[in-house]
Chain A
Amino acid sequence: MAEWETVIGLECHVELNTRTKMFCACHNEFGAEPNTLTCPVCLGHPGSLPVPNREAITRIVKVGVALGSEIAPHSLFHRKNYFYPDMPKNYQISQYDLPVCVGGHLDVELPDGSTKRVGITRVHMEEDTGKTSHGSASGRIHEAESALIDYNRAGVPLVECVSEPDMRAPEEAAAYLRELRGLLDSLEVSDVRMEEGSLRCDANVSVRAAGTDALGVKVEIKNMNSVRSLERALTFEVDRQLAALEAGEPLVQETRHWDEDSGTTKTMRSKEEAFDYRYFPEPDIPALEPEEAWIEEIRRGLPELPRARRTRYAEELGLKAEVARVLVADRAATSLFEETVALGAEPAPSANWITQDLAGLRKEAVVADAAAEPTVGPRHIADLVALVADGTLSGAGAKRALEEAFRSGAAIADIVENRGLRQVSDAGELGAVVDRVLAENEDAAEKFRAGNESVIGFLVGQVMKASGGSANPTLAQELLRERLSR
């Protein structure tokens, strides 16, 4: 059997979260009532003209600088012509042979902890389209009786980032997408929410005999709505292509649609059906010619980027690599961590609380649709870490305090007092609880005496429970052992 090599490149579309749209003054926001964020320009009314949004250009330059791209001294908008009802002008203002950012790279941390450099071909600026929903009794597009179009998204600034075909496995592609998402998030240029479509990703994938340079037949896959679905789609597609090659069947250059439910890709259109977009320079917009000094100003204003931050957290603050990765992937968590450490808290336990317990609470709240303003701030985390360190709180007690703070926003010190969470380290006070637990769990006590050491964990748990989490677990175990050995 021949050795095969997978070749993957990604094209990611990023909606910028500028205040206004790319070429008009309409507000750029997600989730508003359909067609309330429109004007003659973004509806493509006759005679209206596009005027580029300076903030959007600033942001794409930011992205380019962060990716190490060359910022072109002269770049042009082009028109990409094709007919589709949700595209108001039936052309998209995009870029063609003269994008804003040329070249660059992204250093991606792979699951095995190694780093891979993925080349960036280009990053260009364009506008988003509207959204069509098809109305039919059956819910099927081809049986639709009507099509409803929402133009709120039409004209939202969109950055397209095209990678080199440098990835060799679906896991690498997923890692690249995570890294890119983290980078964009740290730059605060986009909401980067794949489920809301503010980050979208198409993949080009082919397979070739290992050791050869020529690329195999390229297939483009569309419609992946999460990092996970990207990985699944690529895994499916690579297997499909390998099976075809092994069986000696020819592959065709085509665009395939990923179907999340069936977990398969299906042909959308072949190369022969590909559009001729008739690109030509957009005559309504002069060339972009950014000044070097302005680019330098943007470069100097860049925040610490995720990769550098992860390294610093691991090397200088002593965080575990995995914790640093999880933390840095989330901008809100990162800034909470920074603020907590700034209050003098120990970095490693602070990071643990933020990435584990607090993240868990947030996730539950999102699932329960109860997401509200963050109630837990850096002071909470710092207090928690300090009180655990000095023995005032047990791990379980601290957990309860955090839950309470998450619900009410109350100060940790107040919660500890009001809920009586102070860890009981007094042998007399705790002894009574231990006696009661042993009396109620005679079976377990017998098992221990018969030599079953592991029962001690269960008994400690019962003590913790009976004390409402306030018991010092080390002391509880000592007291249990002492009494059981009598």
Chain B
Amino acid sequence: MTDALCDLTGGELATKIAGGEISATEVVESSLERIEAVDDEIHAFLTRTPEVALERAAELDAHRGTGAPQHAVAGIPLALKDVLATMGIRTTCGSLILENYLPPYESTAWARLSGHGGVLAGKTNCDEFAMGSSNENSAYGPVRNPWDLERVPGGSSGGSAAAVAAGEVVWALGTDTGGSVRQPASLCGVVGLKPTYGLVSRYGLIAFASSLDTVGTLTRSVRDAAVMLGAIAGKDHRDATSLDEDVPDYLAGLEGGVDGLRVGVVAEAFGEGVEPAVRDSVRASVDRLADLGASVGEATLPHAEYTLSAYYLIAPSEASSNLARYDGVRYGFRAEGGTDSIDMMFRTRGEGFGPEVKRRIMLGTYALSAGYYDAYYGQAQKVRTLIIRDYEKAFADFDVLVSPTSPTTAFRLGEKVDDPMAMYLNDIFTIPANLAGVPAISVPCGLDDASLPIGLQLTAPVLGEQVLFRAAHALERDLGLVLRPPVLAGV
């Protein structure tokens, strides 16, 4: 069986398109065919945009005929997690409360990709308002993992990860608040990048927890992640928290290797709860890095044990406020039968939000209440400061830190839905990077006995994306994994 165009990486496709070997239309058609073939099973997409995609591809082909240079993302089909605003294209956040919401503006990340010639194939399924680790909290039904349709793809960017893994698109954007790009990347066998907080504009990222939210990428190679980040990063005057930093050429040092790189293995990330296959695979990968010339040592994040407690106070607190705007007054779903405007707002929220979202809104509302603020939100912010210091200390000794991305490989649908704590533990290794604002990437490092992908996480200091890419690329090249999920056997 030969690869279809949509199974190639963005880098490979860009070369072929630039060389006139293939057209954007051919690539986009390949992607749309794949979506037709597999997405009824996978359910990665909530909204498909084939007409828009083909029209855009035709424009790009016409434009290329003029000989003008095109960006590396031009003509390549992509997907956006349905929490990124797309003007005039339904954006639901996986929630009933935004069932028919058509944003009147574009998110900055998408506007930049679009400006460079990126082609939107559709909007991907996710946990409602990005709250979840299995994609089972989507109001529109779960996404299934292309590696095993009875298993979850991870979450909350499960649709984006699954779509990239199954070749439905070449790459996709997700969002990462506590691991929502990296954990599904790990469970679906793709590369997931969470950049430094503020490096990519949050304008148009429909907020879950503003101080933690980042726009991230899901790709089938580290190189593609570097290309995507280069296309979306940089100061945006519409986001006051976006960093005023020059965007480097992320491809420049990509082949630099890991000789002399100081790699810290996070001691706390190999204990109880980590599946043996995951532990062994990550350890083996660390050995490969050492063989490639990296100096490996043990790093420690002593306050990591408070990670979940701090995160589940800060994120729900911010969410309780961010999600207050969904009241049926100006846009989105409005419940029938309200006796007055306040009653209408209550009914709309009661009917429009799912159980996990309600749980977190209540948690956050409680944590911010008079008399509890200091004990909960205030205390959690102190822990956050301690975790930032942990990283600062660790990065004094190491260039990058290594851990598993997720303690487990993909679990079965329904396995953890009734046990929120078990579900929350999925993000134990990914959350610290969000609390500290540092960049991290998940790269596939092997398969377990059930042929399910395992992800390795690399973390770097603030704005350390280049070293992250260099290390991840070296490992990727060395491992040379061929990752073709079984769902593609039939296509």
Which listed residue (A40, A46, A79, A147) contacts B321, Cβ 8 A?
A79
By the criterion CB–CB under 8 Å, are A51 and B98 in contact?
Answer: no
Q: Is A301 an interface residue (CB 8 A)?
A: no
Q: Is A65 an interface residue (CB 8 A)?
A: no
The docked-state distance in angstroms from the alpha carbon of A286 to that of B239 is 10
Given contacts A88-B325, A89-B324, A276-B369, contact A46 B206 (CB under 8 A): yes
Return the chain B residue nearest A151 by Cβ.
Answer: B330
Digit string of B452-485 for contact with A (CB within 8 Å is 1, else 0)?
0000000000000000000000000000000000
By the criterion CB–CB under 8 Å, are A46 and B324 in contact?
Answer: no
Digit string of B327-360 for contact with A (CB within 8 Å is 1, else 0)?
1011100000000011001000000000000000
Question: Chain A residues near B203 (CB, 8 Å)?
Answer: 47-49
Question: Chain B residues near A47 (CB, 8 Å)?
Answer: 83-85, 103, 107, 202-207
Q: Is B241 an interface residue (CB 8 A)?
A: yes
What's the least CB distance linking B370 to chain A, in Å? 5
Of A232-240, A277-285, A303-311, A439-447, the stretch lying at the interface with chain B is A277-285
By the criterion CB–CB under 8 Å, are A46 and B93 in contact?
Answer: yes
By the criterion CB–CB under 8 Å, are B105 and A90 in contact?
Answer: no
Return the chain A residue nearest B371 by Cβ.
Answer: A276
By the criterion CB–CB under 8 Å, are A45 and B321 in contact?
Answer: no
Interface residues on A, range: 20 to 34
Given contacts A283-B210, A284-B210, contact A83 B327 (CB under 8 A): yes
Q: Is A448 an interface residue (CB 8 A)?
A: no
Return the chain A residue nearest B327 by Cβ.
Answer: A90
By the criterion CB–CB under 8 Å, are A46 and B101 in contact?
Answer: yes
Return the chain A residue nearest B107 by Cβ.
Answer: A47
Q: Is B136 an interface residue (CB 8 A)?
A: no
Which listed residue (A43, A89, A278, A286) contacts B241, Cβ 8 A?
A286
What's the least CB distance linking A173 to chain B, in Å? 29
By the criterion CB–CB under 8 Å, are B370 and A276 in contact?
Answer: yes
Given contacts A40-B104, A88-B330, contact A49 B239 (CB under 8 A): yes
Q: Is B240 an interface residue (CB 8 A)?
A: yes
Among A47, A50, A51, A276, the one with the most B-chain Cβ atoms within 10 Å of its Cβ is A47
By the criterion CB–CB under 8 Å, are B91 and A85 in contact?
Answer: no
Question: Chain B residues near A279 (CB, 8 Å)?
Answer: 368, 373
By the criterion CB–CB under 8 Å, are A51 and B324 in contact?
Answer: no
What's the least CB distance linking A71 to chain B, in Å? 20
The docked-state distance in angstroms from the alpha carbon of A48 to that of B201 is 11
Which listed residue (B206, B207, B365) contacts A278, Cβ 8 A?
B365
By the criterion CB–CB under 8 Å, are A51 and B325 in contact?
Answer: no
The docked-state distance in angstroms from the alpha carbon of A293 to that of B260 is 46
By the criterion CB–CB under 8 Å, are A46 and B98 in contact?
Answer: yes
Q: Is A216 an interface residue (CB 8 A)?
A: no
By the criterion CB–CB under 8 Å, are B377 and A280 in contact?
Answer: yes
Among B91, B239, B327, B369, the one with the most A-chain Cβ atoms within 10 Å of its Cβ is B327
Name the prevailing secondary structure of the A interface residues: loop
The docked-state distance in angstroms from the alpha carbon of A276 to that of B329 is 22
Residue tally, chain B, CB below 8 Å to A: 45
Given contacts A147-B341, A149-B329, A280-B377, contact A51 B105 (CB under 8 A): no
Given contacts A40-B105, A46-B91, A280-B373, contact A85 B240 (CB under 8 A): no
Given contacts A89-B324, A283-B211, contact A49 B93 (CB under 8 A): no
Question: Chain A residues near B317 (CB, 8 Å)?
Answer: 280
By the criterion CB–CB under 8 Å, are B377 and A284 in contact?
Answer: no
Among A49, A50, A83, the one with the most B-chain Cβ atoms within 10 Å of its Cβ is A49
Q: Is B237 an interface residue (CB 8 A)?
A: yes
By the criterion CB–CB under 8 Å, are A43 and B330 in contact?
Answer: yes
Q: Is B318 an interface residue (CB 8 A)?
A: yes
What's the least CB distance linking B57 to chain A, in Å? 27
By the criterion CB–CB under 8 Å, are A286 and B365 in contact?
Answer: no
The docked-state distance in angstroms from the alpha carbon of A149 to that of B328 is 13
Question: Chain B residues near A280 (CB, 8 Å)?
Answer: 317-318, 321, 368, 373, 377
Question: Chain A residues near B320 (CB, 8 Å)?
Answer: 81, 278
What's the least CB distance linking B109 to chain A, in Å? 11
The docked-state distance in angstroms from the alpha carbon of A60 to that of B124 is 44
Digit string of B90-107 for contact with A (CB within 8 Å is 1, else 0)?
010100001001011101
Q: Is B238 an interface residue (CB 8 A)?
A: yes
Q: Is A406 an interface residue (CB 8 A)?
A: no
By the criterion CB–CB under 8 Å, are B369 and A91 in contact?
Answer: no
The docked-state distance in angstroms from the alpha carbon of A285 to that of B238 is 11
Question: Chain A residues near B107 (CB, 8 Å)?
Answer: 47
Which listed residue (A44, A276, A285) contacts B325, Cβ 8 A?
A44
Q: Is A52 an interface residue (CB 8 A)?
A: yes
Digit string of A200-225 for contact with B (CB within 8 Å is 1, else 0)?
00000000000000000000000000
By the criterion CB–CB under 8 Å, are A48 and B240 in contact?
Answer: no
Question: Chain B residues near A88 (CB, 8 Å)?
Answer: 325, 330
By the criterion CB–CB under 8 Å, are A91 and B324 in contact?
Answer: yes
Question: Chain B residues near A46 (CB, 8 Å)?
Answer: 85, 91, 93, 98, 101, 103, 206-207, 325-326, 331
By the criterion CB–CB under 8 Å, are A45 and B240 in contact?
Answer: no
By the criterion CB–CB under 8 Å, are A44 and B345 in contact?
Answer: no
Question: Chain B residues near A45 (CB, 8 Å)?
Answer: 85, 103-105, 330-331
- For chain B, residues 302 to 331, give those with C-beta under 8 angstroms from any C-beta of chain A: 317-318, 320-321, 324-327, 329-331
By the criterion CB–CB under 8 Å, are B104 and A49 in contact?
Answer: no
Question: Chain A residues near B318 (CB, 8 Å)?
Answer: 280, 283
Given contacts A90-B324, A280-B321, contact A85 B368 (CB under 8 A): no
Further pairs besides A47-B207, A85-B345: 14, Cβ < 8 Å: A40-B105, A47-B203, A47-B205, A49-B238, A81-B324, A83-B324, A83-B327, A85-B342, A90-B325, A147-B341, A276-B370, A278-B320, A280-B368, A283-B318
Chain A contacts to B: CB under 8 angstroms: 40, 43-52, 79, 81, 83, 85, 88-91, 147, 149, 276, 278-280, 283-286
A and B contact pairs by CB, cutoff 8 A, 15 listed: A40-B103, A45-B104, A47-B204, A49-B238, A51-B238, A52-B240, A81-B320, A81-B321, A91-B321, A278-B368, A278-B370, A280-B317, A283-B211, A283-B241, A284-B210
Chain B contacts to A: CB under 8 angstroms: 83-85, 91, 93, 98, 101, 103-105, 107, 202-207, 209-211, 237-241, 317-318, 320-321, 324-327, 329-331, 341-342, 345, 365, 368-370, 373, 377
